[in-house]
Amino acid sequence: MLLNLRHIRTAHERFDKVYEPEAFPTDPDSFQVVAPVALGFDVYRDKDQFRLAGRVQATLETSCSRCLEAYRWPVDATFDLRYQPHAANSGEGERQIEEDDLTTAFYENDQIDLGQLLREQFYLALPMKPLCRDDCRGLCPACGANLNHGQCACKTEWEDPRLAVLKKLKTEH
């Protein structure tokens, strides 16, 4: 998934590609790509500076933070990224990048890693606290049953665990 910058010869070129989900390594801790990924962008070249502006559409599978079940998360994101060459010897000559300028990245060896670009877009698109649905009822804290599938046999009212301990002590004496 490398964009060879030597092939970008004009000031503006178009890139469109669809990647199969198998092209993405699975990361069980965060998400899995479960459908073909459509990546399309315009490449603008200004000497050794490149700007990639486009869109990525994908379907990710992630797990709900409340009930832990896997569910699908559609991604339709636009991006506008600037790339400049990574200076071989960092130091005086290197241009300073503003710290808050998150849209500027570096490239090396005349190529841009589109796999990394996509991974970053996926991480940006995923919610901080993924929920399978807004009203996910989560897991029963006592038996671990998924309450979206129905009520478990546990007592529904929440009991303070400290009170429960006291009660237990009382009944034992």
- Which pair of structure tokens corresponds to residue 115? 């796999």
By CB under 5 A, is residue 70 in contact with Zn ion? Answer: no
Q: What is the distance between the alpha carbons of residues 171 and 45, in angstroms, rounded to a whole number?
A: 78
The string of DSSP codes covering 61-117 is EEE-TTT--EEEEEEEEEEEEEEEEPPSS-STTSPPPPTT-TTEEEEBTTEEEHHHH
Of 52, 64, 75, 81, which one interacts with Zn ion (CB under 5 A)? 64
Nearest 10 degrees: CA dihedral of 132, 61, 126, 106?
Answer: 180
Q: Is 43 in the site for Zn ion (CB under 5 A)?
A: no
Q: Which is nearer to Zn ion, 75 or 132 (CB)?
A: 132
* Residue 61 near residue 34, CB atoms below 8 Å: yes
Would you say 52 or 64 has its CB closer to Zn ion? 64
Considering only 58, 66, 81, 112, the residue that binds Zn ion (CB under 5 A) is 66
169 belongs to the binding site for Zn ion (CB under 5 A): no
Size of the site for Zn ion (CB under 5 A): 11
**Of positions 11, 128, 143, 163, contacts Zn ion by CB under 5 A:** 143
Residue 118 and residue 31 in contact, taking contact as beta carbons nearer than 8 Å: no
CB-nearer residue toward Zn ion: 56 or 67: 67
11 versus 143: smaller Cβ distance to Zn ion: 143
Binding site for Zn ion (CB under 5 A): 64, 66-67, 132, 136, 140, 142-143, 145, 152, 154
